[in-house]
Structure 1
Amino acid sequence: MNKKLLAVAIAASAFGTQAVAVELYNNDGSTFSMGGHVSVNVNGSEAEDASVGTNSPRINFGATQDLGNGFTAEAKGEWALNLLENSDESFTTRLGYIGVTHADYGSTYVGTQWAPFYDVAGVTDLPIAFANDFLYTGEDFAKTGQTRADDMVSYRNGIDFGNAGALNVGIGWQGTTDSRDGSTLISEYSDRVQIALSYAVMGANLGYAYSTGDVKGYGSAKGSLDYHVLSAAYGSYGNGLYLAGVYQMSEDKEVSRQESDSYELIAAYALANSLNLSVNYEAVEITETLSNTKSTDREELALQAEYNFTPKFVGYTGYQFDLNDADGNETDDKWVIGARYYL
């Protein structure tokens, strides 16, 4: 695998980071960089008055070291920033890992990181204002490894077939952990494994990923919690036409006894002046397996615009229509206007 393909193999890991880093040091095979962004906005909805908010501000530090013989060591730490409140939790961990990469032998990372599953699932998680929310549902998404994955060991590699395209493979493993509310045990997670496959050719990318592992809820029997995701994408977000879609199916066999089908579609077009216009649709359908009843958990359509005043300063706005009026649900359209400054 060449270096170009390695970049393709791990490129999806940057979906959620939208990373822009400044190199502060580069000498004798060692580098040190700082990145992240500060985002603030004014937002509101039909149900709530306007207020000041944020869009996942963060700061990160990264370092690399040339180990010789084509191997490079890498370390990164990233923390979410609390911009709006005085709090004892001004920083909370988002990423923290050490890895080793090689142009032929692939890359291995250990720690809290973007998961191989997200390499496939993240193709629609790109707009600043409204994006792929179902991947982040609940507080345990990092324990199941759908996006950022806690305590993971991962490996990625790929095969370049020249004009015929490139096959990329990723695998991940997470150890046993639990979820708590203070000292109260909520769920126990056995070790989890996942695999991701994607094929890129002529500007298009097709992917599939699978994640599985047992989970035990408080007072529940232990059972498998499985996720399947399929995705397709064409183009590059922020550069002309970009089209992408994701379908995720989950099955919880013991704790919640639920199955879910989740969809996200996005179409975006970036003009030559850097104005990027997009429309995205998201829906989640829940099936109660014991009663075999189905319901729509969410259904939304968002219109959004992003404009790069400079490479580091981006303005954004969006309006999200709540389409879920089934079963007497009250809809709540949302809007946002804000700015992001990349460090």
Structure 2
Amino acid sequence: MKLAWLSSAVSVALAAPAAQAIEVFNDGKNSVGIGGYADVRVLNTQGKTEVADGTSRINFDFNRNMGRGWDLQAKMEWGVNLVGNTDISLTGDYVHTRSGDFLNNRLGFVKVGHEKYGSISAGKQWGVYYDVVAATDIPHIWAGTSSGVYTFNGDGGLNGTGRADKALQYRNEWGNFKLGLQVQARNSADEVRDLQEVPAPLPSTGNVYRIQSITYNSTYGASARYQATDKLEVGVAYNQGEFEGRFLDGTPLNATDKIAAFGSSYGGMYDEGLYLAFNVNQAEFHEVDNEGRIIPKSTGAEALVSYALDGGWVPFLMMNYLKADEESYKRDYEGDTFERSFITGGVHYQWDKNTILYIEGRKDFSKVPDAQKKVEDDGIGIGIRVFL
């Protein structure tokens, strides 16, 4: 049986054509690796052309063989802003770029694993929900906007669907079946988040229905995946947590954030030949629109197809769709409707196993309130990603 704790690295393997770590020390018991990448791109979208960072990062991975089938891992990862702040809004991974911060905390956890009993980990880590939707989070510029991962204009750490804060996880594998369980163990007293301090897609909006602050108690998540063939995997995931929020005008909102997803993938984007991936989700009080207004009910979907050609060329096409339930959204927000819909496509070129040149474009078909249209825009970008 494979070590169960390795399954949490699935999302990394999907997104990278080569290993992201250089082993700098190994004495047979202890090993240390340094990984990450530098990414810079030129973007033209939302009425401007800018040089922007592409979620560059660096990480340190410490592993120790404890004997008798036990292994210990400690990992730390920081996002590195190579070029300074930008006003362009893309996904939650770009929060540190929009704010101008040079470093931001992406991951930090300790994990104990056994080849039979599975693994237990604690810290800031990719949520078990992400296991099922990660397969479409691969395009470098426009991705992850409809899967329910990067919520509240952040990294999904607040409610546990993305890089979950204060998460305790158990993972194991039995044959082709993979299980992940998660709880964010905390109390509300230390988790008030002032969302006015988070760079929103439309930071100048004064809409009274915008969520100003939010407090979560513990959240809970689970994922189950089945490796049907060497290339085909299917999975389901669920995440839930109660919160207390407050609108910009001071009105309180108490609700339960919940999301359920189904996803499947075939192959690997940088493996020879065809790659297919899709996911769909249903959510309540989980997503926010471009003005920071929480969406009472929503349906989201992402689908990706690519084909790795000889010579390192990988063309792809992706669909993103997020629609608010019309009845509840209209009722709460003065008759407005919200539908994010766009196609992104492009070509990645593997210059060598650790270097990708890419060009990606976006064609938008969204139907959103006039005040939010600036964010949902056509665009094009060209860049380079250099893995360590």
Give me the whole-angstrom Cα distance separating, in 2, the residues matched to 1:65 and 1:49. Answer: 48
1:76 aligned to 2:75? yes
Distance in 2 between residues matched to 1:196 and 1:99, nearest whole Å: 18
Name which of 246, 249, 264 aligns with 1:232. 264
1:311 — aligned with what?
353
Which residue of 200, 211, 217 corresponds with 2:245?
A: 217
Q: Does the C-alpha gap of structure 1 residues 222 and 332 become closer, same or farther in structure 2, counting only changes over 3 Å?
A: closer
> Would you say the 8 A contact 2:4–2:114 is kept in 1?
no
Task: Count residues with an aligned counterpart.
Answer: 334
The AA in structure 1 aligned to 2:324 is I
Is residue 2:282 matched to residue 1:249? yes
Q: Is the 8 A contact 2:32 2:63 kept in 1?
A: yes
Contact 1:13–1:115 (8 Å) recurs in 2: no
Instruction: Answer whether contact 2:224 2:235 (CA < 8 A) is retained.
Output: yes
Aligned-partner SS, 1:136: coil
* 2:225 is the alignment partner of 1:201: no
Match of 1:123 in 2: 135
Summarize deviations over 1:241-271 as a string: whole Å, max 9, x none: 1101111111129x94610111100001111
Give the match for residue 10 of structure 2: 12
- The separation in 1 between residues aligned to 2:133 and 2:169, in whole angstroms, is 16
| 2:8–2:126 CA contact under 8 A, matched in 1 | no
1:289 partner SS: helix
Q: 1:16–1:55: structure 2 CA closer, same or farther, 3 Å change rule? A: farther
Equivalents in 1 of 2:5, 2:81: separation in Å? Answer: 34
The offset of 1:336, in angstroms, is 0.3
Matching of residue 289 in structure 1 with residue 324 in structure 2: no
Show the counterpart of 2:386. Answer: 341
For residue 173 of structure 2, give the secondary structure of its aligned residue in structure 1. strand
Q: For 1:223 and 1:142, how far apart are their aligned partners in 2? A: 18
Secondary structure at the counterpart of residue 130 of structure 2: helix
C-alpha distance in 2 between matches for 1:248 and 1:294: 22
Matched AA of 2:132: V
How far off its partner does 1:272 sit? 2.4
* Cα separation, 2, equivalents of 1:60 and 1:17: 16
Q: What is the DSSP-based 3-state SS (H/G/I as helix, E as strand, rest coil) of the residue aligned with 1:122?
A: helix
2:192 maps to which residue? 178
Q: Give 2:53's aligned residue.
A: 54
Between 221-230 and 57-66, report the one with greater CA deviation.
221-230
Are the aligned partners of 1:15 and 1:122 in contact in 2 as well (CA < 8 Å)? no
Say whether the 8 Å CA contact 1:286–1:294 is kept in structure 2: no
Partner of residue 120, structure 2? 108
In structure 2, what is the Cα distance between the partners aligned to 1:43 and 1:88? 17
Task: Write the distance in 1 (CA, Å) between the matches of 2:337 and 2:100.
Answer: 40
TM-score (norm 2): 0.80
Cα distance change, pair 206–16 in 1 and its aligned pair in 2 (3 A) = closer
In structure 2, what is the Cα distance between the partners aligned to 1:322 and 1:337? 18
Q: Bigger shift: 244-253 or 173-182?
A: 173-182
TM-aligned CA deviation for residue 17 of structure 1? 6.5
Tell me which residue corresponds to 1:163.
none
Q: Conserved in 1, the CA contact under 8 Å of 2:296 and 2:324?
A: yes
In structure 2, distance between residues paired with 1:82 and 1:11: 23
Q: Deviations over 1:209-246 (max 9, x none)?
A: 00011011024242211011110111112112110111
TM-score (norm 1): 0.90
Q: Using a 3 Å threshold, how does the CA distance of structure 1 residues 206 and 27 change in structure 2: closer, same or farther?
A: same
SS at match of 1:190: strand
Aligned-pair identity (%): 26
The answer to whether the 8 A contact 1:129-1:304 is kept is no
Q: Match for residue 166 of structure 2?
A: 151
- The structure where strand makes up a greater share of residues is 1
Per the TM alignment, residue 127 of structure 1 is displaced from its structure 2 partner at its CA by: 1.9
How far does the alpha carbon of each residue in 1:111-130 deviate from its partner, in whole angstroms, 9 at most, with x for none? 00011110011111112222
Residue pair 2:330, 2:337 contacting (<8 A) in 1 also: no
Secondary structure of residue in 2 paired with 1:119: helix
String of CA shifts for 1:130-159, please: whole Å, max 9, x gaps: 222233242352111112111100111111
CA contact (8 A) 1:189 1:214 kept: yes
Q: Which moved more, 1:292-301 or 1:318-327?
A: 292-301
Displaced runs of 4 or more, over 6 A: none
Using the alignment, how far apart are the partners of 1:257 and 1:281 within structure 2? Answer: 21
Aligned position for 2:96: none
